[in-house]
Amino acid sequence: MFTRTETFREFIRLYPIVSTIITIHVVLFLFTVLPIFPNYWFFEHLSGVNLYILEGEYWRLITPTFLHSGFTHMLFNSVSLLLFGPALERMLGGVKFLLVYLVSGLIANLATLLLEPLSYTHVGSSGAIFGLFGYYVAIIIFRKNWLSRQNSHIILVLCVLSLIMTFLQPNINITAHLFGLLGGFFLGVIPYYNKKELSNSIKDATYWASGKRRLFTSKSPLKILIWGIVISIVIIGIFSRK
């Protein structure tokens, strides 16, 4: 699932969204190192600067997701997307995958705007990539038949390791990583509640209100969702005290 065996042409044909995003990463990186434009031009106009966003440059909530601070930064994020993006693009389809990627990145950048200082500047697609991890976690919890046990274990281990490294490495946008992960998870929870399941949840609520049945069982998706919201509030509280 996470091993790439396609040829270059097959990969582009099968995973057009992942291919396009990686291409944008590379092109923007080249623009920052080649003498076509002044090196600072793209960072000055596309990076996430909280003060400039509040002054009306709202495109900076999206553009930092495609810009990187150096070759190693760009390479690491692009390889991560190369490994973990294709499977999710095939599961969701190109449009839904792009939506999850962009919205996760947007949530990460909004959290950075709200919780970091006005002078804070950031670039990188890590928030969006953590969003993919979050979506995978939602699949593991709610759609167990979508992933094998082995692949589920791989995702969970890498997710935990990535979170640990978030707090150990210097110059990391911790806020973006955490809220990108949470954003992707919540985006993965939303499709779980289709009409039939929503109807069952309403029935459960009715039984619970009448004292005939507990709404929150140990495996209740609603319980997991509520705990996720509580954890989000706690994280916001911690960061807002900085």
Helices (H), 55-148: 71-92, 94-115, 126-142
| 220 flagged as catalytic | no
Ramachandran category for residue 29: left, alpha or beta (phi over 0 → left; psi -120 to 50 → alpha): alpha
Is 125 catalytic? The answer is no
CA distance 207 to 217: 13
User: How many C-beta atoms surround the C-beta of residue 107 within 10 A?
Assistant: 25
Four-point Cα dihedral 64, 70, 72, 77, nearest 10: 10
Catalytic residue among 177, 199, 210, 220: 177
DSSP one-letter code for 124: -
Task: Report the DSSP beta bridge partners of residue 39.
Answer: none
Of the residues 80, 104, 126, 199, only one is catalytic, namely 126
8 Å CB contact between 189 and 134:
no
Q: Which residues are catalytic?
A: 126, 177
